[in-house]
Amino acid sequence: MSAPKPRTLDPDLQLVRAIGLGSATLLVIGNVLGSAIFLTTGIMAQRMPSATLLLLAWIIGGLLALTGGLTCAELGAMYPRSGGWYVYLREAYGPVWAFLFGWAGVMVMLTGSLAAIAVGFAEYFSYFFPSLSTNRILFFIPLYWGTLHISAGQVVAASSLALLGAINYIGVRIGNAVQAMLTAIKVGLLALIPLMALALHPIRPSFRPIFSQVPHAAASFGIAMIAVMWAYSGWDWMCFAAGEIKRPERNVPKALILGTIALTALYVATNLGYVYSLRIDEMQGVLRIAERSVTAMIGAGGAGLVAAGVMISTLGCNAAGIIPISRVCFAMSSDGLFLKVAAAVHPRFRTPHVAVVLTCVWSAFLTITGTYEQLYTYVVFTALLFNVAGGMAVFKLRKTQPDRPRPYRVWGYPFVPAVFVLSTGVLVLSTLIERPMESLLGLGFVALGLPAYWYWSR
């Protein structure tokens, strides 16, 4: 396959570097902080009934996320452009591997995440407006292979994406301001859980090491870590928008480091709130653990408070996600490896407006059809593989481009990036063992990108 022609002009020069260090840090937090922290701990406690081990899992998860942030920081400072992993994989392994990442990301891996989070927003939106739930079917569309039922909740989910897309269409400044505001609000709401637990309803949990009292402690801890690592996923998305960050050689590394540290502190504090408001036996198997925790402290009104918190959290997550995800589409198109029109920059708003529209429209389509549920499970495995390849890119580029300026060099090299690669590799292996068919189908979906690459690279 022939490689595409190199770009004669950096397309990022048409964009506006309007995102400062504070906003970039909130972008890291906003892309990670969705609904997982409100739902995960109760399921973990079912297999691992130990306050000590629960907190330890969240601390270790934060440290592993930090190794990823430190690793990605070197690459982000070297290549402060739109596209993130797409750019790093292109520089390290060539355009084919970069395209396959972009193909999987734009088609399902990244846009499917937006769709899933939008449906989560609609679920909690219906708490306040029951007539707009996902159970209420508005109409149906007959298709050749069956009937497509469209619910009120799906329309709400798609509408939320349309609203956020319109905001990002008219300027990165306003889009960034909205995501920063929503992220700050959801961080404040989440911080209320540990504050209330310590002030209003203190339970004195035992923090003694009780590995011997947890059946199959090592296996249970490993399974819990998989859930924790997924709760931390998304810290790297900020790098996709590096082309619009001020002083990226300085602010990209700082935002990654500060953002992952802040997330770790917030996650650990929230789980402290859970174990100080509920006994372990009250937590076991509870899906909506945040709702149970707040209700135990302030009564029935806690359910509404948590529903509002999750609704804002999911909306903020997508407000933060649209910015970087659309930039992957923009970067691919600028390289001539996707729709040419998506490389356009609005002459007035200075945004990749077509890429924003395509990202939101496709995500909304996945939301309306419900296909994201099946497709997203298929690409989980390949998403992890790309993260492993991205981590390995640090080692490869140190050898192939030793003289390239590196404004930031990963602290603790080679051990820190090695820990990131190995820990992500464990997740790859666990996913392959737990979902072998979905993993293989995901690889097959990525392989479908090869004829697409051949077409566009011509």
CATH number, domain of 15, equals: 1.20.1740.10
Write down the H helix ranges in 170-283. Answer: 172-199, 217-232, 248-277, 280-283
Q: Is the pLDDT reported for residue 458 higher than 70?
A: yes
Q: Which domain holds residue 109?
A: 11-457
pLDDT of amino acid 35: 85
User: Is residue 92 in some structural domain?
Assistant: yes
Q: Is the pLDDT reported for residue 288 higher than 70?
A: yes
Name the CA dihedral angle for 75, 78, 81, 83, rounded to a multiple of 10 degrees.
Answer: -20
pLDDT digit string (tens) for 81-95?
999 999 999 999 999
The HSE-up count of residue 109 (CA atoms within 13 Å, CB side) is: 27
104, 287, 297 from 32: Cα distances, Å: 20, 19, 27
d(Cα 372, Cα 387) in Å, to the nearest integer? 21
pLDDT of amino acid 133: 84
pLDDT of amino acid 372: 66
Beta bridge partners of 245: 19
Average pLDDT over residues 437-457: 90
Q: Is the pLDDT reported for residue 8 higher than 50?
A: no
User: Is residue 242 in some structural domain?
Assistant: yes
Mean pLDDT score across all residues of the chain: 89
pLDDT of amino acid 269: 96
CB 328 within 8 A of CB 110: yes
pLDDT of amino acid 453: 94
pLDDT of amino acid 24: 96
d(Cα 243, Cα 98) in Å, to the nearest integer? 17
Closest CA to 372 of 169, 206, 189, 161: 161
pLDDT of amino acid 86: 96
pLDDT of amino acid 212: 56
User: Is residue 175 in some structural domain?
Assistant: yes
pLDDT digit string (tens) for 357-380?
999 999 999 998 877 666 667 777
Confidence of residue 263 (pLDDT cuts 50, 70, 90): very high
Q: Of 375 and 178, which is predicted with more confidence?
A: 178
Confidence of residue 213 (pLDDT cuts 50, 70, 90): low
d(Cα 391, Cα 85) in Å, to the nearest integer? 10
Average pLDDT over residues 323-327: 95
Q: Is the pLDDT reported for residue 219 higher than 90?
A: no
User: Is residue 138 in some structural domain?
Assistant: yes
Percent of the chain, pLDDT > 90?
A: 66
Confidence of residue 19 (pLDDT cuts 50, 70, 90): very high
Confidence of residue 9 (pLDDT cuts 50, 70, 90): low
d(Cα 250, Cα 256) in Å, to the nearest integer? 11
Confidence of residue 209 (pLDDT cuts 50, 70, 90): low
Closest CA to 80 of 341, 374, 404, 296: 404
Tokens (6 digits) for 205: 């949990």
Q: Is the pLDDT reported for residue 179 higher than 50?
A: yes
Confidence of residue 220 (pLDDT cuts 50, 70, 90): confident
383, 419, 420 from 388: Cα distances, Å: 9, 11, 8
pLDDT digit string (tens) for 50-73?
888 899 999 999 999 999 999 999
Q: Of 139 and 329, which is predicted with more confidence?
A: 329
User: Is residue 257 in some structural domain?
Assistant: yes
pLDDT of amino acid 13: 87
Percent of the chain, pLDDT > 70?
A: 94
pLDDT of amino acid 6: 47
pLDDT of amino acid 208: 66
Q: Of 222 and 176, which is predicted with more confidence?
A: 176
φ, ψ for residue 272, nearest 5 deg: -60, -40
pLDDT of amino acid 74: 95
User: Is residue 281 in some structural domain?
Assistant: yes
pLDDT of amino acid 207: 67
Please tell me the least confidently modeled range out of 28-42, 199-213, 292-306, 348-362: 199-213
User: Is residue 5 in some structural domain?
Assistant: no
Cis check for the bond before 194: say yes or no (omega within 30 of 0): no
Beta bridge partners of 140: 149
Average pLDDT over residues 239-255: 94
pLDDT digit string (tens) for 186-197?
999 999 999 999
Question: What is the total count of domains within the chain?
Answer: 1
Residues in Cβ contact with 409 at an 8 Å cutoff, skipping those fewer than 6 apart: 74
**Would the pTM count as exceeding 0.85?**
yes
User: Is residue 110 in some structural domain?
Assistant: yes
Q: Is the pLDDT reported for residue 343 higher than 90?
A: yes
Taking the alpha carbons at both ends of the chain, their separation in whole angstroms is 8
